C-alpha cells in the first residue's frame, strides 16, 4: 500500500548540499578534473561505458566524479542520460577483424599469424603496491618497435578452415533490442549477448566462474582475446551510403569449447563470445563463458540445472541498475506496510497466548 | 582497393576522417585554415545516439552492443552545395565544421580544403595510430625454445 | 540532393516538436476537436499538418507507408532527411500517409494482444475538415461530438477490434483531428 506523505524537503535539500560538500572532500586537496578521471582512471571509465551502455568517455568520467566513485551510481547516471538522446539509427556490425590491436593473445596457438601481443596488461605484474606512485609520478618511457604490417586474422578462422568449429548462424540485420522492447523468453542470442555485454561485471564474473567450477562445465579455452580500436560505420539515409561515424575501443573474447557431439551435432569445437566496450578484459572473458553456457539448448546439450544455463535467471538478474533499484527501494519509507505487519504479528501473538492459556 | 569503383569513395573517406577527429584539433585546424564560407543550417547541430552493433562470434548474427554519442549537422552554402556531418561525440562545433568541410569539398575550394584541413587532420590521425601500433609491436612475444633435458 | 528539399523542417526542433506533440495529443484525447499546427513546410502533396505529424512522431524506428500519390522522390527525401524513418510497405508500417480511398486498410498492423500499441497510425489527408458529420462518442468526449469523416462503417468495425485496431489522424492544410480506436462512430 502506498500513501503520499509530504515533508522532508528541507532535510533533503540539506542532505544534497552536504553530499556535494563531501563529494568535493578536503578543499586543501586539489580538485579532480573530468579529464584526469578520463585519462587516469580509464578502466573505471570503461566499465561505466560498458554497463551504462553508452560509449562516451567524457560523460562516463563526469558520472564517476558526480557519483564520488560509486560505479553503479555512475552507470545509473549514464543510463538516465542515454534515454534522453534521440536515436539516429543503428550502425553496421563492427568488423573486429579490422581492429587496430593494442593487445592480442591466444591461449590455443602459440605461433598465430600476427603474434602474441601483450599490450598494456596487468598480467605479469607482481601485484605489489608501487609506492613510487604515491609520490608524484613521472610519465614513464615506452619502448616501440617496427610495426608489423601483416593482418591479424581471427584465430577461429583457422579452425573454421578445417571445419572443426561449429558454424555461427546468421540472424536478422536489425537485431532485437532490449532498450526498445521488453525482454521475452526464450531470448534470441542477440538479446542474450546484449544483456550480457551491459550486465554487471561482478554478476557475469560470478556466473562464469561457476561454470569453471563445475556448474555446467564446458571447458573453455581463450582462442583469442583482442583489444583495440575499430571504426563504427553507419548507413546515412540522406546520403544513401555508409560512412564511419566514429571509432570505439572494444575488447573481444572468443572461446573455443570442447564438445563431444550430440544427437544433432557432430563432435567439434563450439564457441562462446564476448564483446564489450572499452578495455574490459575480465568482463569479455566472463561474457564468453556465460554465452557458451546459455547455448546448451541450440547445441543439443543436457540442461544440468546449473544457474549459468538458466536463461531467465541470468538475464533477469544481470542488470545492476534494475537490481539496485529494486534492492535499494526497501530502505525508503514503508511505514504503512510495516504498520500492518506489526498489527498482524501482535494479533497472532494475542491469539497464541489465549490458546496457550486456555490449554493450561 | 575494392572501393576504387565506388563513386562515393572519396566523400566517404573525408566524412569518416572528420567523424573520428578530435573536436579540439579540428577546431584549431579549421581556425588556421581561415576559410569562412557563407552557409545556412539545413539542420542545426543535434546531439543523439547511435546503436553500435556487433556479430555473435564476430561472424554470425548481429546484436546490439550499446550506444555511442553522435552529433549531426547539415548545411548549405551560398553556392547551393549541401554538406552533411555525423560525427562522434557531443561537440556541436565539430559537427558544424565537418558539415561545412563536406559541402566545401563539393565546390571549387576542394583543393584548398584538402590541403589546409583534411591533409593535416589525416596526418595527425595517422601519426597517432602509428605511435600506438609501435608500442603494441614492442610488446609482441618472441618465443624461443629452451633445450629440453630428455636424455 | 537539392537543398530545397531538405528545408522545411522544424526551425527549433525541441520546442516545435513539443508544441506539435501537445496539439496531436489533445486531438487524440478529445476526438472531434480540430487543432491547428505549424512549423513544417513539407513538399507537395503533403499538407503542413501531415508534415508536422511526421516530424513529431517519426524516427528511424517508425517505418512509414506512402500511398502512390504521396510516394514522390521529394516526399521520400524530405521524410528521410528530417526523421530518418524508413519508407516501407503497408504491412510493416507504424505510420501511413494517404487519401482515404487509397489507404489499404486491411493491410495495416492492428497490434497484438500482448502489445496492442504495435499497430499503425494512419494520417489521412483530406480536402475538407470540419466539426460537422458523423457522430462520435466515447472516452474524451462529453456527451457527443461531430466530425467530417470519410466513412462510418470502417471506423465502427475498427472500434470493434478494441484493444487492437488502427488510430487515425485527419489532416487538412494546417489543421488536424484524430479518431482513436476507442471512439464509437454513428
Q: Do the Cβ atoms of B141 and A118 come within 8 Å?
A: yes
Q: Do the Cβ atoms of B54 and A238 come within 8 Å?
A: no
Tell me: the pLDDT tens digits for A330-360? 998 888 889 999 999 999 999 999 999 998 8
Mean pLDDT of all residues in B62-90: 96
What is the band of A113 on the pLDDT scale with cuts at 50, 70, 90?
Answer: confident
* Close Cβ partners of B78 (under 8 Å, ≥ 6 residues apart): B37, B38, B39
Q: What is the pLDDT of residue B148?
A: 66
* Residue found under cell 548481429: B62
Q: Do the Cβ atoms of C61 and A87 come within 8 Å?
A: yes
Q: Are A290 and A211 in contact (CB under 8 A)?
A: yes
Q: What is the pLDDT of residue B67?
A: 98
Residue B46 reports pLDDT greater than 50: yes
Residue C186 reports pLDDT greater than 70: yes
For chain A, say whether C89 makes contact (Cβ under 8 Å).
Answer: no
What's the grid cell of residue A11?
532535510
Q: At how many degrees (to 10) do helices A57-66 and A71-82 cross?
A: 130
Closest by Cβ to B46, choosing from C2, C6, C13: C13
Say how far apart CA A322 and CA A332 lie, in whole Å.
16
Q: Do the Cβ atoms of C84 and A90 come within 8 Å?
A: no
* Residue found under cell 564560407: B37
In chain A, where are the structural domains located?
Answer: 9-82, 96-120+151-169+176-323, 335-360
Say how far apart CA B103 and CA B37 lie, in whole Å.
10
CA-based nearest residue in chain A for residue B59: A168
What is the helix (H) or strand (E) element at residue B124, kind and residue range?
Answer: helix B119-138
CB pairs under 8 A between B and C: 20
Q: Do the Cβ atoms of B143 and A147 come within 8 Å?
A: no
CB < 8 Å from C in window 55-74 of B: 74
Tell me: the pLDDT tens digits for A207-216? 999 999 999 8
How far off is chain C from B51, nearest CA to CA, in Å?
Answer: 11
Say how far apart CA A298 and CA A159 lie, in whole Å.
20
Residues of A in contact with C81 (CB under 8 A): 237-238
How far off is chain C from B112, nearest CA to CA, in Å?
Answer: 23
For chain C, say whether B53 makes contact (Cβ under 8 Å).
Answer: no
Domain presence at residue B150 = no
φ and ψ at B145, to 5 degrees? Answer: -95, 130
Residue B151 reports pLDDT greater than 70: no
Q: How many domains does chain B have?
A: 1
Q: Are B49 and B69 in contact (CB under 8 A)?
A: yes
For chain B, say whether C81 makes contact (Cβ under 8 Å).
Answer: yes
How far off is chain C from B80, nearest CA to CA, in Å?
Answer: 7
Q: What is the pLDDT of residue C113?
A: 94
What's the grid cell of residue A104?
592480442
In chain C, where are the structural domains located?
Answer: 3-181
Residue B2 reports pLDDT greater than 50: no
Query: Closest Cα partner for B65 from A192, A272, A318?
Result: A192
Say how far apart CA A131 and CA A126 lie, in whole Å.
14
What is the band of A281 on the pLDDT scale with cuts at 50, 70, 90?
Answer: very high
Q: Write down the ipTM of this complex.
A: 0.93
How far off is chain A from C186, nearest CA to CA, in Å?
Answer: 36
Domain presence at residue B30 = yes
Mean pLDDT of all residues in C110-117: 94
- What domain range is B35 assigned to? 9-136
For chain C, say whether B8 makes contact (Cβ under 8 Å).
Answer: no
Say how far apart CA A139 and CA C28 lie, in whole Å.
63
Note if the bond before B23 is cis, omega within 30 degrees: no
Domain presence at residue B35 = yes
Say how far apart CA A272 and CA A189 lie, in whole Å.
11
Say how far apart CA A69 and CA A66 lie, in whole Å.
8
Residue A251 reports pLDDT greater than 90: yes
Q: Would you say domain C3-181 falls under CATH 3.40.50.11310?
A: yes
What is the band of B1 on the pLDDT scale with cuts at 50, 70, 90?
Answer: very low
Strands C167-172 and C175-179: antiparallel
Q: Do the Cβ atoms of B56 and A193 come within 8 Å?
A: yes
Query: Closest Cα partner for A59 from C46, B59, B68?
Result: B68
The 3-state secondary structure of chain A, one letter per residue: CCCCCCCCHHHHHHHHHHHHHHHHCCCCCCCCCHHHHHHHCHHHHHHHHHHHCEECHHHHHHHHHHCCCCHHHHHHHHHHHHCCCCEEEEEEECCHHHCEEEEEECCCCCCCCCCCECCCCCCCCCCCCCHHHHCCCCCCCCCCCCCCCCCCCCCHHHHHHCCCECCCCCCCCCCCCCCCCCCCCCCCHHHHHHHHHCCCHHHHHHHHHHHHCCCCCCCEEEEEEEEEEEEEEEEECCCCEEEEEEEEEEEEEEEEECCCCCCCCCCCEEEEEEEEECCCHHHHHHHHHHHHHHCCCCCCCCCCCCHHHCHHHHHHHCCHHHHHHHHHHHHCCCHHHHHHHHHHHHHHHHHHHHHHHHHC
How far off is chain A from B69, nearest CA to CA, in Å?
Answer: 6
What's the grid cell of residue C78?
524530405
Q: Which residues lie across from B87 on neighbouring strands?
A: B71
Determine how many CB atoms are found less than 10 A away from the CB of residue B61. 20
3-state secondary structure of B85: strand
CA-based nearest residue in chain C for residue B103: C3
Q: Do the Cβ atoms of C60 and A87 come within 8 Å?
A: yes
Q: Do the Cβ atoms of A238 and C59 come within 8 Å?
A: no
Tell me: the pLDDT tens digits for B124-145? 999 999 999 999 999 999 887 6
How far off is chain B from C89, nearest CA to CA, in Å?
Answer: 24
Tell me: the pLDDT tens digits for C129-156? 999 999 999 999 999 999 999 999 999 9
Length of chain B, in residues: 151
Query: Closest Cα partner for A271 from A287, A254, A286?
Result: A254
Domain presence at residue B143 = no
* Close Cβ partners of A49 (under 8 Å, ≥ 6 residues apart): A55, A56, A57, A60, A78, A277, A278, B66
Tell me: the pLDDT tens digits for A308-319? 999 999 999 999
Residues of A in contact with C1 (CB under 8 A): 238
Mean pLDDT of all residues in A187-198: 97
Say how far apart CA B30 and CA C46 lie, in whole Å.
40
Q: Are C59 and C83 in contact (CB under 8 A)?
A: yes
Tell me: the pLDDT tens digits for A40-61? 999 999 999 999 999 999 999 9
Amino acid at each position: 500500500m502506498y500513501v503520499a506523505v509530504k515533508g522532508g524537503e528541507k532535510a533533503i535539500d540539506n542532505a544534497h548540499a552536504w553530499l556535494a560538500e563531501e563529494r568535493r572532500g578536503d578543499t586543501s586537496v586539489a580538485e579532480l578534473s573530468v579529464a584526469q578521471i578520463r585519462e587516469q582512471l580509464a578502466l573505471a571509465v570503461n566499465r561505466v561505458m560498458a554497463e551504462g551502455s553508452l560509449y562516451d568517455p567524457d560523460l562516463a568520467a563526469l558520472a564517476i566524479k558526480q557519483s564520488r566513485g560509486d560505479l553503479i551510481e555512475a552507470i545509473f547516471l549514464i543510463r538516465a542520460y542515454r534515454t534522453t538522446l534521440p536515436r539516429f539509427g543503428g550502425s553496421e556490425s563492427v568488423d573486429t577483424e579490422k581492429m587496430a590491436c593494442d593487445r592480442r593473445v591466444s591461449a590455443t596457438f602459440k605461433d598465430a599469424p600476427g603474434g602474441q601481443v601483450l599490450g598494456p596488461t596487468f598480467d605479469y605484474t607482481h601485484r605489489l603496491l608501487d609506492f613510487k606512485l604515491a609520490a608524484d609520478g613521472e610519465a614513464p618511457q615506452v619502448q616501440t618497435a617496427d610495426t608489423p604490417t601483416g593482418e591479424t586474422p581471427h584465430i577461429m578462422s583457422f579452425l573454421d578452415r578445417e571445419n572443426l568449429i561449429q558454424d555461427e548462424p546468421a540472424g536478422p540485420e536489425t537485431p532485437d533490442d532490449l532498450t526498445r522492447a521488453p525482454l521475452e523468453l526464450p531470448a534470441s542470442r542477440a538479446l542474450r549477448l546484449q544483456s550480457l555485454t551491459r550486465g554487471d561485471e561482478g554478476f557475469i564474473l560470478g556466473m562464469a566462474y561457476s561454470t569453471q567450477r563445475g556448474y555446467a562445465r564446458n571447458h573453455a579455452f581463450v582462442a583469442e582475446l583482442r583489444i583495440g580500436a575499430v571504426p563504427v560505420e553507419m548507413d546515412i539515409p540522406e546520403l544513401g551510403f555508409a560512412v564511419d561515424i566514429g571509432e570505439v575501443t572494444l575488447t573481444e573474447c572468443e572461446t573455443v569449447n570442447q564438445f563431444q557431439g550430440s544427437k544433432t551435432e557432430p563432435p567439434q569445437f563450439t564457441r562462446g563470445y564476448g564483446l564489450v566496450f572499452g578495455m574490459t578484459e575480465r568482463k569479455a572473458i566472463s561474457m564468453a563463458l556465460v554465452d557458451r553456457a546459455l547455448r546448451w539448448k541450440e547445441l543439443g546439450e543436457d540442461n544440468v540445472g546449473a544457474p549459468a544455463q538458466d536463461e531467465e535467471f541470468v538475464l533477469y538478474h544481470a542488470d545492476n541498475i534494475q537490481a539496485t533499484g529494486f534492492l535499494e527501494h526497501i530502505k525508503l519509507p514503508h511505514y504503512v506496510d510495516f504498520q500492518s505487519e506489526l498489527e498482524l504479528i501482535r494479533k497472532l501473538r494475542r491469539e497464541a497466548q489465549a490458546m496457550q492459556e486456555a490449554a493450561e | 582497393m575494392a572501393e576504387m569503383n565506388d563513386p562515393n569513395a572519396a566523400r566517404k573517406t573525408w566524412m569518416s576522417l572528420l567523424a573520428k577527429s578530435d573536436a579540439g584539433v579540428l577546431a584549431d585546424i579549421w581556425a588556421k585554415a581561415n576559410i569562412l564560407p557563407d552557409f545556412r543550417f539545413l539542420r542545426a547541430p543535434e546531439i543523439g545516439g547511435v546503436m553500435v552493433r556487433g556479430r555473435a562470434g564476430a561472424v554470425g548474427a548481429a546484436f546490439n552492443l550499446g550506444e555511442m554519442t553522435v552529433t549531426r549537422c547539415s548545411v548549405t552554402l551560398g553556392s547551393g552545395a549541401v554538406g552533411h556531418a555525423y560525427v562522434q561525440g557531443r561537440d556541436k562545433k565539430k559537427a558544424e565544421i565537418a558539415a561545412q568541410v563536406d559541402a566545401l569539398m563539393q565546390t571549387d575550394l576542394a583543393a584548398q580544403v584538402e590541403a589546409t584541413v583534411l591533409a593535416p587532420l589525416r596526418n595527425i590521425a595517422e601519426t597517432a595510430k602509428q605511435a600506438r601500433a609501435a608500442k603494441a609491436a614492442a610488446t609482441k612475444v618472441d618465443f624461443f625454445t629452451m633445450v629440453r633435458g630428455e636424455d | 540532393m537539392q537543398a530545397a528539399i531538405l528545408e522545411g523542417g522544424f526551425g527549433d526542433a525541441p520546442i516545435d516538436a513539443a508544441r506539435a506533440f501537445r496539439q496531436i495529443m489533445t486531438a487524440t484525447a478529445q476526438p472531434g476537436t480540430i487543432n491547428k499546427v505549424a512549423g513544417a513546410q513539407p513538399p507537395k502533396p503533403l499538407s503542413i499538418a501531415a508534415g508536422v505529424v511526421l516530424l513529431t512522431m517519426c524516427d528511424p524506428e517508425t517505418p512509414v507507408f506512402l500511398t502512390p500519390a504521396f510516394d514522390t522522390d521529394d516526399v521520400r527525401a524530405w521524410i528521410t532527411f528530417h526523421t530518418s524513418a524508413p519508407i516501407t510497405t503497408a504491412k510493416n508500417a507504424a505510420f501511413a500517409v494517404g487519401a482515404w480511398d487509397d489507404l489499404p486498410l486491411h493491410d495495416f498492423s492492428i497490434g497484438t494482444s500482448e502489445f496492442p500499441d504495435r499497430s499503425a497510425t494512419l494520417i489521412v489527408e483530406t480536402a475538407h475538415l470540419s466539426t460537422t458529420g458523423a457522430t462520435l462518442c466515447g472516452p474524451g468526449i462529453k456527451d457527443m461530438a461531430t466530425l467530417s469523416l470519410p466513412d462510418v462503417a470502417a471506423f465502427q468495425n475498427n472500434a470493434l477490434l478494441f484493444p487492437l485496431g488502427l488510430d487515425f489522424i485527419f489532416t487538412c492544410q494546417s489543421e488536424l483531428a484524430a479518431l482513436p480506436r476507442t471512439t464509437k462512430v454513428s
